[in-house]
């Protein structure tokens, strides 16, 4: 009597695809992949803080300066939308905020506040100490709402940071605030105009680098680091590779403290021999 072969037979494949076991296996595989995708998405959200919502603090009743520091630490930005004069109340204190305290908001949310207005007809220049590095448009609105002080842009200067931020504050040509200056005790009447210097992405100047004695590759690196470009290249050794040559002259020449506009070209002359005085 021949024993029936119980091993795998190719003819069994069509029947297996039609079986209940195959359908259940396929369903389980789909559910497993779906669960894996959901877990991966949740893990990514937790890792990147994507869509993270934070509880907004209560800034009412505290000074604007203190609120700005607290909000900045949480990733929020305080903007003054209005001011009200209240008899007996000191100026510069927050009385309302939008969104309301305790709201869940995303990081980077702007918080609009109403503050008490200063009653004095003269404002101490100390109120400008926090101006450096702030957005000009936001500070302009704040100064007018709080102190009825007008603002205008006096000039722009190149700065590696974002454009439109305050670099200097003047009152009647007197520098009150910059990166290293904070002059208090200057009384500014309400209705006066302050002059601002704000940052710009172009228009800066840099010191002229000393390229003489550098090889060609080093000279290109120095120019690129200074936001300058190479101009005309005079090569006295046409048969030699530029990388083996040295700068013997440059125009404009190096002079300690001398500057040129960013992006300007510097002409160089190359030679196979180092000029006198080079180490």
Question: Tens of pLDDT along 184-233?
Answer: 999 998 889 999 999 987 777 788 999 999 999 899 999 988 888 999 98
CA distance 24 to 18: 11
Tell me the three state secondary structure of residue 124: strand
Q: Is the pLDDT of residue 3 over 50?
A: no
> Class of 121-203 per CATH?
alpha beta
Q: What's the CA gap between 271 and 173, in Å, rounded?
A: 51
Please tell me if the domain spanning 52-119 has the same topology as the one spanning 121-203: yes
Q: How confident is the model at residue 6 (pLDDT cuts 50, 70, 90)?
A: low
Q: CB under 8 Å to 237, separation ≥6 — which residues?
A: 245, 270, 271, 272
CATH 3.40.50.2300 assigned to domain 52-119? The reply is no
Contact 98/56 with Cβ under 8 angstroms? Answer: no
> By C-alpha distance, which of 154, 147, 143 is closest to 118?
147
Domain spans, the chain: 52-119, 121-203, 205-271
φ, ψ of residue 190 to 5 degrees: the values are -60, 145
Which is higher by pLDDT, 278 or 215? Answer: 215
Helix (H, G, I), strand (E, B) or coil at 146: helix
Beta bridge partners of 55: 104
**Residue 7 pLDDT class (50, 70, 90 cuts):** low
Fold annotation for 205-271: Trypsin Inhibitor V; Chain A (3.30.10)
């Amino acid at each position: 009597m021949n024993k029936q072969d119980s091993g795998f037979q190719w003819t069994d494949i069509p029947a297996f695809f039609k079986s209940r076991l195959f359908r259940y296996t396929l369903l389980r595989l789909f559910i497993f992949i779906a669960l894996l995708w959901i877990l991966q998405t949740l893990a990514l959200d937790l890792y990147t803080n994507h869509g993270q919502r934070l509880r907004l603090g209560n800034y009412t009743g505290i000074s604007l300066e203190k609120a700005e520091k607290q909000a900045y630490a949480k990733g929020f930005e305080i903007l003054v939308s209005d001011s009200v004069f209240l008899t007996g109340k000191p100026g510069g204190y927050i009385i309302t905020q939008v969104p309301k305290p305790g709201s869940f908001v995303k990081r980077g949310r702007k918080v609009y506040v109403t503050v008490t207005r200063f009653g004095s007809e003269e404002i101490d220049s100390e109120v400008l100490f926090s101006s450096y590095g702030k957005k000009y448009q936001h500070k302009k609105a704040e100064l007018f709402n709080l102190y009825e002080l007008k603002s205008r842009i006096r000039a722009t200067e190149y700065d590696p940071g974002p454009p439109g931020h305050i670099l200097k504050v003047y009152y009647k040509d007197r520098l009150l605030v910059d990166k290293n200056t904070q002059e208090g005790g200057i009384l500014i009447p309400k209705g006066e105009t302050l002059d601002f210097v704000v940052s710009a992405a172009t228009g800066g100047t840099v010191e002229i680098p000393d390229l003489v004695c550098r090889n060609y590759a080093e000279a290109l690196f120095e120019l690129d680091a200074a936001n300058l470009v190479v101009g005309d290249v005079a090569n006295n050794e046409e048969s030699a590779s530029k990388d083996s040559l040295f700068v013997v002259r440059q125009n404009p020449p190096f002079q300690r403290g001398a500057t040129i506009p960013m992006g300007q070209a510097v002409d160089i002359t190359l030679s196979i021999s180092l000029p006198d005085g080079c180490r």
